[in-house]
Amino acid sequence: MKTGRTPIKFELDELRRRLQEAEETLDAIRSGEVDALVVSGPEGEQVFTLRGAEHPYRVLVESMNEGAASLAPDGTILYCNGAFARMIDTPLDTVMGHKIGEFVEAGETEALAALIERGCSSAIRSEMSLRYRTGVILPTQISLNPVKMDGSPLIAVVLTDLSERQRREEAQEAIRLRDEFLSIASHELRTPLSTLMLQLALLERLDANADPSRFAQSVAKARNQADRMTELTNRLLDVTRIASGKLELDVANHDLGEIVADLVEQMSEEAGKARCEFRLKIENSVIVRCDRFRIEQAILNVLSNALKYAPGHPVSLVVERQGADGVMMVEDRGVGIDPDALTRIFNRFERAASQSGGLGLGLYIAREIVTQHGGSIRAERREGGGSRFCITMPLSIMP
């Protein structure tokens, strides 16, 4: 007689074994021996391994518009999503293993290193500029959070593109400046226009032969206001030419010292009215290649600025060679420049808080003219009060 398990008993034993294994697995999961989650629901308990649970989050990170990356404590990129790679304009498969500092604007690498050091221990948020391989700069907000993976410290990074916000802010600022400029321009043009119309009305009633002195006086006042309107109009035209790239230069070799000396002589009457004395220190043969009319215009704007803000004080002018450059410095002992204004003083329509007239275009035009000559212009506060403006241009004839 044959002995052994019947097919039904075999199937029951196999089912009991599988149920026992399932119970043991669930017990292990519940006790934390296995990396998984048990979720109870209408259909009973469902098991999710950590690998499976992580998958939706990985899909989420990969589909984010923000850049996401994980860094080692030394800034090495261990992982990043596609948005991060696009933000640094670098193929995704070549990013990992590089230091994040390689993709940051050169002047911000030290600040980034400090952020990473702080990000190893606490959450932190700041703004940072990324650099494309093409040289394009992308403004971003960077958020860093310390995390641990298998016991190893890491830094989770999220980058948000701020270029759209920056464009909106720039557009809003442009609108604000436009509205402010239109208001200022309307006022500045209305004043001489009103005076001009008044003088013309007076001239219509005057008899030049009967009262020649008063007639001549009214003509002079009308001419002054017409000149003022012409000056304002020319400045607006210059801004338009600069913005459209149509400011033409007729360049030749000129002595920078001679240009300055001639301008000082032309401005002697204006300096007298401001009770200012020009003090000159001019080195011979500082030859630069320039459009004399335009450079005179730039220097005149700087000198007029000094007379306006330093009445009753001497104004020093120095022309000298510094290496391969010709340099002109204008120093006054006036009210000086507010530190916050030093970064804006050459912007269009920027006027000092104490300035009662003008369009705020003189220094902007001066900067653009000097820049188009391959030079530079800067403003500084003098120790002890006053301002210093420095125009630097390349020499065309070396000594």
Q: Can you tell me which residue has the tokens 């400046």?
A: 177
Instruction: Say how far apart CA 188 and CA 180 lie, in whole Å.
Output: 12
The CA-CA-CA angle for residues 314, 319, 321, to 5°, reads 150
Query: Is residue 25 within 8 Å of residue 32, measured between CB atoms?
Result: no
Q: Which residue would you say has higher pLDDT here, 231 or 14?
A: 231
Specify the pLDDT at position 50. Answer: 47
The residue-averaged pLDDT of 133-150 equals 80
83-109 residues labelled b (16+ CB within 10 A) or e (exposed):
bbbebbebeeeebeeebbbebbeeebb
The whole-angstrom separation of Cα 356 and Cα 340 is 19
Mean pLDDT of 136-144: 85
When mean pLDDT is compared over 131-145, 242-256, 311-325, 338-352, the highest value belongs to 311-325
pLDDT at 392 over 90: yes
Kindly report, residue by residue over 49-87, the tens digit of the pLDDT: 444 444 555 666 666 778 888 888 888 888 888 888 888
The token pair at 27 is 């017990």
pLDDT band at 344 (very low <50, low <70, confident <90, very high): confident
Q: Is the pLDDT of residue 195 over 80?
A: no
Would the pLDDT of 116 be above 80?
A: yes
pLDDT digits (tens, 9 = 90+) for 88-98: 888 888 888 88
For position 337, what pLDDT does the model report? 78
Q: What is the pLDDT of residue 190?
A: 73
pLDDT tens-place string over residues 161-183: 888 888 888 888 777 777 766 66
User: Does 356 score more than 80 pLDDT?
Assistant: no
Inter-helix orientation angle 163-205/212-244, to 10°:
160
User: Which CATH superfamily does the domain covering 64-161 fall into?
Assistant: PAS domain (3.30.450.20)
Q: Is 280 helix (H, G, I), strand (E, B) or coil?
A: strand
Mean pLDDT value across the chain: 79
Q: What is the pLDDT of residue 212?
A: 79
Tell me the mean pLDDT in the region 177-204: 72
What top-level class would CATH report for the domain 166-244? mainly alpha
Contact 242, 367 (CB under 8 A): no
Give the pLDDT band of residue 317 (cuts 50, 70, 90).
very high
Is residue 135 within 8 A of residue 88, CB to CB? The reply is: no
At which residue do the structure tokens 């296995």 appear?
A: 34
**In the chain, what is the straight-line distance between the N-terminal and C-terminal CA atoms, in Å?**
125
Question: How far, in Å, are 152, 183, 230, 231, 302 from residue 237 at the CA level?
Answer: 64, 18, 10, 10, 19
Domain with CATH 3.30.565.10 in the chain: 252-394
Contact 295/259 with Cβ under 8 angstroms?
Answer: yes
Residue 353 pLDDT > 50:
no
Give residue for tokens 């003219």. 369
pLDDT at 256: 95
CATH hierarchy code of domain 252-394: 3.30.565.10
Average pLDDT rounded to a whole number, residues 303-314: 85
Read off the amino acid at residue 350: E
The percent of residues in the chain predicted with pLDDT above 90, rounded, is 17
What is the pairing mode between strands 278-282 and 315-322? Answer: parallel
Using a pLDDT cut of 70, give the percent of the chain over it: 76
Residue 154 has pLDDT above 50, yes or no: yes
pLDDT of residue 164: 83
- In the chain, residues under CATH classification 1.10.287.130 are 166-244
- Predicted confidence at residue 329, as pLDDT, reads 95
For the chain, helix (H) and strand (E) counts, in that order, are 10, 14
Q: What is the dihedral of CA 238, 239, 243, 247, to 10 degrees?
A: 10
CA 139, CA 77: separation in Å to the nearest integer? 20
Backbone phi, then psi, for 394, in 5-degree steps?
-65, 135
- Over 70: is that where the pLDDT of 320 sits? yes
Instruction: Report whether pLDDT(354) > 50.
Output: no
DSSP string of 133-191, one letter each residue: TTS-EEEEEEEEEEEEETTEEEEEEEEEE-HHHHHHHHHHHHHHHHHHHHHHHHHHHHH
**Concatenated DSSP letters of 354-382:** T--SS-S-HHHHHHHHHHHTT-EEEEEEP
In the prediction, which pLDDT does 29 show? 47
Residue 352 has pLDDT above 60, yes or no: no
What's the sign of the alpha-carbon dihedral 173, 177, 178, 183?
positive
Residues of CATH 3.30.450.20 domain(s) within the chain?
A: 64-161
Quickly state the pLDDT bin for 394 (edges 50, 70, 90): very high
